[in-house]
Amino acid sequence: MSIIIRAAVAADIDTIHAFILALADYERLSHAVKADRDMLARYLFGPRPMAEVLIADHGGAPVGFALFFHNFSTFEGRPGLYLEDLFVLPQARGLGAGKALLARLAALAIDRDCARLEWSVLDWNEPAIAFYRSLGARPMDAWTVQRVDGDALAALSASARPRC
C-alpha cells in the first residue's frame, strides 16, 4: 500500500483535531491546546480560510497531516509556504508519510510560485531534525523566533489605539 496525500475537507475536522492533540502530546504541550473543532472549522473551511491542511492516508486510513499557510518574503518579493505543523502517527512512521507530505508541500510551493518552504522544529526533537536534514533542510541559525501573545499582545494592541 502506498501513501496518498490529499487536501483536507470539512469532514476531516475530527481527524485534524485528533492529530493536533496527538502532536501536542508528543511535544509535551497538551496543556497549551485551545483549538476545538468549531474553531478549526471556522479558520480552515469558513468563508475566509486562514490555513490549509494535507492529509496522508495509508490503507484508507489517515496516518498524518500537515497544516500550512502562505507568508511573504519582502526580500524575495514572492510568497512562501509556512508549515505550522507536521505529524505522523507513531505506528505509521517509516512508511514515507512525512516525506510524502513535505514533497507535496514543496510541489505546492513550486506551483504557487513560492520562494521557499519553511518551518520551525523544537530543538530537542533530534529525530525530526535528522529527518529534515536528510531532505535538504537547513537551519536558520542566525534567526530567533519571537512571539507576543496573551496579555502582552493585548497591551501592545492597546498602545496603538488613539487616546481620547
Q: Which residues are catalytic?
A: 132
Q: Is 94 left (phi over 0), alpha (psi -120 to 50) or beta?
A: left
Q: Which three cell numbers stand for residue 43?
A: 479558520
Instruction: Classify 8 as helix, strand or coil.
Output: coil
Q: What is the Rg, in whole angstroms, of the alpha carbon atoms belonging to the chain?
A: 17
* Strands 78-88 and 117-119, bridge-based pairing: parallel
Edge-to-edge, what's the strand order for the sheet holding 78-88? Answer: 3-7, 52-58, 61-73, 78-88, 117-119
Buried b (16+ CB within 10 A) or exposed e, 50-89: eebbbbbbbeeebbbbbbbeeeeeeeeeebbbbbebbbbb
